[in-house]
Amino acid sequence: MARPFEPDIVELSDEDFDRQAEVYGKLADSIRRLSTASIQTTVNLADIEALTVELNSIAEKLEADRIEGSYGVSITTTGRFRGYGNAVVGLRNPVAPPLQIHQDYEQGIATAEFELGPRYEGPPGMVHGGVAALVLDQLLGEAGSASGSPGMTGTLSLRYRRPTPLGRLSARAWSAGIEGYKNTIKGELYDADGNVTVEAEGLFILPRWAREAMEAQKHATPQFER
Amino acid sequence: MARPFEPDIVELSDEDFDRQAEVYGKLADSIRRLSTASIQTTVNLADIEALTVELNSIAEKLEADRIEGSYGVSITTTGRFRGYGNAVVGLRNPVAPPLQIHQDYEQGIATAEFELGPRYEGPPGMVHGGVAALVLDQLLGEAGSASGSPGMTGTLSLRYRRPTPLGRLSARAWSAGIEGYKNTIKGELYDADGNVTVEAEGLFILPRWAREAMEAQKHATPQFER
The pLDDT tens digits of the residues spanning A44-93 come to 999 999 999 999 999 999 999 999 999 999 899 888 989 999 999 999 99
- Nearest C-alpha in A relative to B59: A34
pLDDT of residue B215: 75
What H or E segment, with its residue span, contains residue A170? strand A167-179
pLDDT of residue A62: 98
With a pLDDT cut of 90, the percent of chain A lying above it is 82
Q: Using an 8 Å Cβ cutoff, are B100 and B89 in contact?
A: yes
pLDDT of residue B211: 81
pLDDT of residue B217: 65
Overall average pLDDT of the A150-164 stretch: 95
- Whether the pLDDT of residue A2 is over 50: the answer is no
- Whether the pLDDT of residue A4 is over 80: the answer is no
With a pLDDT cut of 70, the percent of chain B lying above it is 93
Using the Cβ of A64 and the Cβ atoms of chain B, whether some distance falls under 8 Å is answered with: yes
Of residues A224 and A204, the one with the higher pLDDT is A204
- The shortest CB-CB distance from B72 to any of A4, A61, A125 is to A125
Strand B74-76 to strand B8-10: parallel, antiparallel, or no bridges (unpaired)?
parallel
Task: List the single best residue of B91, B134, B140, B142 to mutate versus A (max A Cβ within 10 A).
Answer: B134
The set of residues, in sequence order, having a beta carbon less than 8 Å from that of B50 and lying 6+ positions away, is none
Q: Using an 8 Å Cβ cutoff, are A47 and A114 in contact?
A: no
With a pLDDT cut of 70, the percent of chain A lying above it is 93
Task: List the single best residue of B5, B9, B34 to mutate versus A (max A Cβ within 10 A).
Answer: B34
Which of the four pLDDT bands, split at 50, 70 and 90, describes residue A168?
very high
> In this complex, how many residue pairs, one in chain A and one in chain B, have their CB atoms less than 8 Å apart?
335
Q: How far is B178 from chain A (nearest CA, A)?
A: 19
Q: Using an 8 Å Cβ cutoff, are B48 and B41 in contact?
A: yes
Q: How far apart are CA A30 and CA A107, in angstroms?
A: 36
Q: Using an 8 Å Cβ cutoff, are B204 and B150 in contact?
A: yes
In the predicted model, what is the mean pLDDT of chain A?
92
Using alpha carbons, list the distances in angstroms from residue A123 to A35, B33, B77, B137: 19, 26, 21, 12
CA-based torsion, B125, A143, A102, B85: positive or negative: positive
How far, rounded to the nearest angstrom, does the alpha carbon of residue B138 sit from its chain's CA centroid? Answer: 6
Q: How far is B207 from chain A (nearest CA, A)?
A: 11
Q: How far is A29 from chain B (nearest CA, A)?
A: 9
- The shortest CB-CB distance from A65 to any of B42, B59, B152 is to B42
Tens-place pLDDT, residues A85-137: 999 999 999 999 999 999 999 999 999 999 999 999 999 999 999 999 999 99
CB B90 to CB A121 under 8 A?
yes
How far, rounded to the nearest angstrom, does the alpha carbon of residue B172 sit from its chain's CA centroid? Answer: 15
In the predicted model, what is the mean pLDDT of chain B?
92
- Whether the pLDDT of residue B226 is over 80: the answer is no
Chain B residues with CB-CB distance to A49 below 8 A: 23, 26
Q: Using an 8 Å Cβ cutoff, are A198 and A188 in contact?
A: yes
pLDDT of residue B18: 95
pLDDT of residue A226: 40
Of residues B27 and A215, the one with the higher pLDDT is B27
Tens-place pLDDT, residues A183-222: 999 999 999 999 999 999 999 999 887 787 777 765 555 5
Query: Does the pTM exceed 0.90?
Result: yes
DSSP code at position B95: T
pLDDT of residue B213: 72
Which of the four pLDDT bands, split at 50, 70 and 90, describes residue B6?
low
Using the Cβ of B34 and the Cβ atoms of chain A, whether some distance falls under 8 Å is answered with: yes
Tens-place pLDDT, residues B100-112: 999 999 999 999 9
For the sheet with B74-76, list strands across it.
Answer: B8-10, B74-76, B81-82
Strand B101-104 to strand B182-190: parallel, antiparallel, or no bridges (unpaired)?
unpaired
